[in-house]
Amino acid sequence: MAFLEVNDLVKDFGGVVANNHVSFQIDQGEIIGLIGPNGAGKTTLFNCVVGYHKPDSGKVIFKEKEITGFKPFMTNREGIGRTFQIMKVTAGMTVLENVMVGAFCRTDDRNLAKVEAAAILGFLGLDSLRAYHLNELPIASQKKVGLARALATQPELLMLDEVASGLNPKETEEMVDLLKKIHRDKRITLFLIEHVMEVVMPISQRVIVLDGGEKIAEGLPKEIVKNERVIKAYLGEKYAKSL
Amino acid sequence: METLRDAFDFRDFSKPEKVGFVIFTLFLLVFPWLGAGSFVKAVVIQFLLFSLFGMGWNTIGGYGGQVELGKAQYVGIGAYTVALAMVWWKIPFWVSMPIGVLIALGYSFIIGYPLFRLKGHYFAIATICTSLVLQDIFINWKLVGAAKGIELPIHEHPDFLYMQFKSDTYYFYFIMALFYVAIFYMNWFRKSKLGYQLRMIKEDEEAAESLGIDARWCKIKAYSIASAFVAVGGGFLAVYNLYIDPYSVMDLDLSIKIALMAMLGGAGSMWGPIIGSAFLVPLDRFLGSWLGAHKGLIGVDFMIYSALIMIVSAYQPRGIWGIIEQFRKR
């Protein structure tokens, strides 16, 4: 039985069909990449799974429970965490407090939440940033805080929307290592939207490709880069040849 | 236990804050014996009352970041419950006030449930509307005195059960006690799970939802807490003034003042509503009585009042407390 199953999902924004009969499955412990050109419907697909959008038809099944149309906070409580492509950069709360809010998802005790949050910041190597506010941090750190916040809710499936966008090559490499560490040590299934090939190709065990709202390919990274439709739609022949 | 410890734990405040708080408390304790006139006493009582209102508003408006402009309806509910219970059934204040709070809580859940489907400006407008509707009902409702309002029966002798005293001092100490209960409550609240969740909702509601926070339910809870606070103040207003009508306790003017004082002082901070009230209540009263007495200067007090608010909010959106913190950081 699949861990996350998306069945024939359709999301129509009145004329623009963002997701057109998309189906796929994810097994527990996998790392899955979701790629596709701009406007392919990747974020919409995420939002449909997590509950920011209600799918027009189709089903989302998580751990054998149908969660179609659940609100975001409900899917989170089921065990799905997510990060955002663009984080709101705010000045009202410190990094530690941000992560504590995540930890409060599983406990009512403030001290416990604090301990939990500190542990996660330590795990991600963010100890030194505890007292800063989000608006005082560089973008790479902001993204890591977003990651820490989501991790604090103790998800079993973590959905990452472009964690590497806006990062330089060195930061990207760090982020990849961090994702590997999360996957390895916390045994969390990762599902990531990614534009940066340096992230998606080395860590994904399977890749799903969307174009124009439809799933056009699915398979191992090696196969995907050789797939004609994918190359045409998205990669450009140059990158495919270089592999 | 944990809750109580949090409420009385002020350790995470800075030293000036702690010292200021102690001095302020001592001042309040001896204030009635300083020989202030009845006008000054009335202003200080008003200051404590509006601080109480402001702290209540601060839960949903400050920590939760929702522009809530309908608190007057809950002042009204608190005040009318106390007044009517006394006039109709001679129920003592100490019984009717909690009942008023319970009614306010129930009503706030009923109103809050649909209200928090709305966001931003639409929410703000809707809060104003709910309050105006209730005021209109009371203006036209003969049974509860309609526009004429209700006069509370004055007892010949001071009566603790009905909170009737000859001297303002008793009222002063009573509202002061409520004020401190509110401070301890807020000191707990800002460290509570709900407090953290509300701040997250204010920061970024979408992200809050992704962290397992039921934003709407959190807001409803905070709205109800705020309503309960304000209803306590309303109950006090009834026994203090011994007369209420829909214009004095349910007016939009009152709703806006409550929100404005908290915002001017610093919404979402512990001391903001108190500072705002300490600033605006005396200003309001003194300017009103001083300028209002001069022919041709009527209305000038409102102009000064508004100008100050505009200056502060243009300079620092986090209010007076925001300005203080800004200077401290340097």
**pLDDT of A239 higher than 80:** no
**Which chain A residues are closer than 8 Å to B211 by Cβ?**
73, 76, 101-102, 105, 149-150, 152-153
Helix (H, G, I), strand (E, B), or coil: what is residue B105? Answer: helix
pTM of the model: 0.91
Q: Which amino acid is residue B195, in one-letter code?
A: G
Please give the structure tokens belonging to residue A38: 């701009």
What DSSP state is assigned to residue A207? E
Stretch B9-34: mean pLDDT: 92
**pLDDT of A236 higher than 70:** no
pLDDT for A104: 94
Average pLDDT over all residues of chain A: 90
* Cα torsion B271, B258, B60, B121: sign: negative
Find which of B6, B197, B200, B210 to mutate to test the A interface (most A CBs within 10 Å of its CB): B210
pLDDT for A58: 93
pLDDT for A233: 77
- What percent of chain A has pLDDT above 90? 70
More confident residue, A241 or B191: B191
Stretch B41-67: mean pLDDT: 94
Residues in contact with B137: Cβ distance below 8 Å, sequence separation at least 6, in sequence order? none
Stretch B192-209: mean pLDDT: 94
Long-range contacts of B33-40 (CB under 8 A, 24+ apart): B38/B168, B39/B285, B39/B289
Domain ranges within chain B, ordered by starting residue:
2-329
pLDDT for B146: 83
Residue A63 burial by Cβ neighbours in a 10 Å radius (0-12, 13-18, 19+):
middle
Stretch A201-221: mean pLDDT: 90
Stretch B32-47: mean pLDDT: 90
Please give the structure tokens belonging to residue B17: 């804050």
pLDDT for A243: 56
pLDDT for A29: 92
Which residue has 């490709």 as its token pair? A209
Of B191, B197, B206, the CB nearest to A101: B197
More confident residue, B168 or B229: B229
Contact B215 A98 (CB under 8 A): no
φ, ψ at B252 (rounded to 5°):
-60, -35
Stretch A50-75: mean pLDDT: 93
Average pLDDT over all residues of chain B: 90
Please give the structure tokens belonging to residue A209: 């490709």
β-strands B243-244, B150-151: how paired?
A: antiparallel
**Chain centre distance of CA A8:** 21
> Taking a C-beta distance cutoff of 8 angstroms, is the pair A69, A54 a contact?
yes
Of A81, A90, A100, the CB nearest to B204: A90
Any CB–CB contact under 8 A between A93 and chain B? yes
**Which chain A residues are closer than 8 Å to B207 by Cβ?**
84, 87-88, 146, 149
Q: What is the pLDDT of residues B110-165, one digit of tens each?
A: 999 999 999 989 999 999 999 999 999 999 998 888 888 898 888 878 888 888 88
Q: Kind and range of the H or E element at B2?
A: helix B2-8
Alpha-carbon gap, residue B68 to B3, rounded angstroms: 27
Contact A90 B203 (CB under 8 A): yes
Q: What is the pLDDT of residues A118-135, one digit of tens each?
A: 999 999 999 999 999 999
**Which chain A residues are closer than 8 Å to B209 by Cβ?**
52, 71-73, 76
Of A72, A87, A93, the CB nearest to B199: A93
Q: What is the pLDDT of residues A63-116, one digit of tens each?
A: 999 999 899 999 999 999 999 988 888 888 999 999 999 999 999 999 999 999
CATH of B2-329, one of 3.30.420, 1.10.3470, 3.40.1440, 1.10.8: 1.10.3470
pLDDT for B147: 83
Q: What is the pLDDT of residues A173-184, one digit of tens each?
A: 999 999 999 999
More confident residue, B164 or B26: B26
pLDDT for B327: 87
Find which of A70, A73, A93 to mutate to test the B interface (most B CBs within 10 Å of its CB): A73
Nearest-neighbour CA in chain A from B194: distance (Å): 9
ipTM at complex level: 0.90
Nearest-neighbour CA in chain B from A230: distance (Å): 31
All domains of chain A in start order, with CATH:
1-79+156-243 (3.40.50.300), 86-154 (no CATH)
Residues in contact with B99: Cβ distance below 8 Å, sequence separation at least 6, in sequence order? B81, B85, B91
What DSSP state is assigned to residue A53? S
pLDDT for A241: 63
Of A88, A109, A113, the CB nearest to B207: A88
The Cα diameter of chain A in Å comes to 55
Nearest-neighbour CA in chain A from B112: distance (Å): 19
Contact B213 A101 (CB under 8 A): yes
Alpha-carbon gap, residue A76 to A70, rounded angstroms: 10
Of residues B67, B72, B75, B78, the one with CA closest to residue B115: B67
Other C-beta atoms lying within 10 Å of the C-beta of residue B4: 10
pLDDT for A87: 85
Q: What is the pLDDT of residues A133-185, one digit of tens each?
A: 999 999 999 999 999 999 999 999 999 999 888 899 999 999 999 999 999 99
- What percent of chain B has pLDDT above 90? 62
- What percent of chain A has pLDDT above 70? 95
